[in-house]
Amino acid sequence: MSHHIVEVKGLRHVYPDGTEALRGVSFRITHGESVAIIGANGAGKSTLLLHLNGCLVPTEGAVRVGDFPVTRSTLPEIRRTVGMVFQDPDDQLFLPTVREDVSFGPLNLGLPPDEVERRVEDALERVGAAHLADRPPYHLSGGEKRRVAIATVLSMEPSILVLDEPTSGLDPHARRRLMGLLGEFHHTKIFTSHDLDMVLDLCERTIVLHEGMVKADGPTRDIFLDDRLLADCRLERPLSMQGCPICGMKG
Amino acid sequence: MATINGTSLDFRLLDRLSEGHSAVHRLDPRAKVLATLFFIVSVVSFGKYEVSALFPFFLYPAAMIAFADLPALFLARKTALVLPFAVVIGIFNPLLDSRILLHVGPLAISGGWISCASIIVRAALTVSAAFILVSVTGFPAICAALERLGMPRTFAVQLLFLYRYIFVLIEEGKRVSLARELRTFGGRGPGMKHFGSLVGHLLLRTWERAERIHRAMLARGFTGEFHPRRPCRFGVRETLFLLGWSALFLLFRLENIPRFLGTYVTGVLG
């Protein structure tokens, strides 16, 4: 299933103002993997994600999704394969009702109306938001918005799911619920996050970005045991791997 | 005093009204757009001293509000908010045009006052018709209708984005003005001095956000085409709606109904 593969080679990106956000990033993510991209603020995580569906064009290097290099001519195919959930759900939801927002993608793919209807019901059902279908998105709570934003992407049935900070701004219950939801998807998943406990729960593999370069790439557990690496990259162990603050014992 | 918060709520209420399920809501948007267009053209095509002949046209907003179950007070308030602009346009007429046209008892009324009144009545009619169109159709559907009626797609999409980004701008503006308010402690702060910078920041932030929204749309395969909410079909009901109203507007335009009624009544009584 080669269309589930994401390959980034020597990716460099310089913003028009001269900031070098990515300085030669390479990795390969294969079918069904769940990969976290972590790093300090400004490490280049969001810039990297924006290359995965062609929102940004590399200054140097290349990105391949499945059988296609990401270029202007392959963009429609790429965007059908890579579903991207942006950090702020308000950026993603813009139509008068949830149902219309979720059908926006499938309609753009030119699917027939009954197929669109099926996908919308399906996507809303999967994220547990079927009862919100006729509500306007701006009346939803943060957690509901996030789930609907994910539904807007699921309705396009992408093979690769990319999420930018999926748990930011959620209350503990909404966060748990979202993690449960993400755990059920068997797509190739790529996400950035500062929520390292979620990374530990959901991703078997972690890529650490530091100042625009890949500082480490390996099994999540190994990376979180390397305190030196974490400190160098302005990170720390997930709370669940730190000592208990009350009984003072190491976890 | 209109606040940013109030404005955004009003916009959203207008948006929500368009989700109604009345018979008027269900009509093909094209019929409603054309009827409104015909209404506006009929209203503005009167001579500049015409006032009485305009009044029958209030039937249209009234009927639409009744049939579509719209909140009349809310729409009246919205229309009233726009009227000061019409007043500004008309207010100099009495000074420029002092020819006496009408005597009401001892009171002589100049042409300027009459044309000023005419401008205000027309503004009330056309603005309320536009608000009603938006609240029974919804902005995206209006844009789709305009496109299907032959407006170039580029303009339709521009209009849609304009509408979408009004909300973005209002949201950003709300946050900026709240942050400013909290740090000026009810006073006026440094006033105009920092205002330029504030507006500049607002513009830049809105710009960035607009870019993110556009990216999110592209990520979902947006190609510059919007798909209408309801399947449109210009059927018998649409034809009847359009022809019925157009005929009525034409009658109102060609025949001064209040004068006709007046002559009729005085004729019968006399």
pLDDT on residue B7: 63
pLDDT at A97: 80
Q: If you measure CA to CA, which chain B residue comes closest to A52?
A: B219
Rounded distance between C-alpha atoms, residue B39 and residue B52, angstroms: 16
Alpha-carbon span A164 to A51, nearest angstrom: 13
- pLDDT of A167-188, one tens digit each? 888 889 888 988 988 888 888 9
Which two tokens mark B4?
A: 């940013």
Q: Which residue in the set A55, A83, A156 is minimally distant from B218, CB to CB?
A: A55
Q: Cβ–Cβ of B212/A80 closer than 8 Å?
A: no
A11 has pLDDT over 90: yes
Lowest mean pLDDT among A57-71, A102-116, A202-216, B198-212: B198-212
C-alpha to C-alpha distance for A151 and A145, rounded to whole angstroms:
10
What digits encode the pLDDT tens for the residues B49-73?
A: 888 889 999 999 999 999 888 898 9
Mean pLDDT of chain B: 83
CA distance A165 to chain B (A): 15
Contact status of A81 with chain B (Cβ, < 8 Å) = no
Where do the domains of chain A lie?
A: 2-86+158-241
> Is residue B178 over pLDDT 70?
yes
Chain B: closest CA distance from residue A210 (Å): 24
Pick from A83, A92, A96: which is nearest to B138 by CB? Answer: A96
Which of B19, B167, B171, B220 should be substituted to probe chain A, the one whose Cβ sees the most A Cβ atoms within 10 Å? Answer: B220
Domain A2-86+158-241 has CATH 3.40.50.300: yes
Q: Which residue of A has its CA nearest to B161?
A: A94
Asked if A152 reaches chain B (Cβ–Cβ under 8 Å), the answer is yes
Which run of H or of E encompasses A35?
strand A34-38
Confidence of residue B36 (pLDDT cuts 50, 70, 90): very high
Q: How many residues does chain A have?
A: 251
Which one of A97, A105, A138 has the shortest CB-CB distance to B221? Answer: A105
Tell me if chain B has a CB within 8 Å of the CB of A88. Answer: yes
Cβ distance B219 to A113 less than 8 Å, yes or no, reads: no
- β-bridge partners, B86: none
Closest-CA residue of chain A to B220: A105
> Percentage of chain B with pLDDT > 90?
19
Whole-angstrom CA distances from B201 to A20, A42, B161, B175, B234 are 24, 21, 21, 12, 46
Output the pLDDT for position B3: 58
The answer to whether the CB atoms of A91 and B209 lie below 8 A apart is yes
In chain B, where are the structural domains located?
1-151+232-262, 152-220
Residue written as token pair 């000061």: B84
Distances (CA, A) of B57 to A56, B64, B86: 54, 12, 18
From the list A55, A100, A109, which residue is nearest B221 (CB)?
A109
Q: Could you tell me the pLDDT band of residue B37, with boundaries at 50, 70 and 90?
A: very high
Cβ-proximal residues to A240 (8 Å cutoff; 6+ apart), any chain: A197, A200, A251
Give the gyration radius of chain B's Cα atoms. Answer: 23
| Mean pLDDT of the A227-245 span | 87
- Model pLDDT, residue A24: 92
pLDDT band at A251 (very low <50, low <70, confident <90, very high): very low
How many other CB atoms sit within 10 Å of the CB of residue B201? 12
Which comes out higher in pLDDT, residue A163 or B19?
Answer: A163
User: Is residue B184 pLDDT above 50, yes or no?
Assistant: yes
One-letter identity of residue A102: V
The rounded distance, in Å, linking the Cα atoms of A178 and A143 is 8
Find where tokens 């190491």 sit.
A250
The packing angle between helices B72-90 and B4-17, to 10°, is 120
Q: Look at residue A3 in the predicted model and tell me its pLDDT.
A: 62
Confidence of residue B1 (pLDDT cuts 50, 70, 90): very low
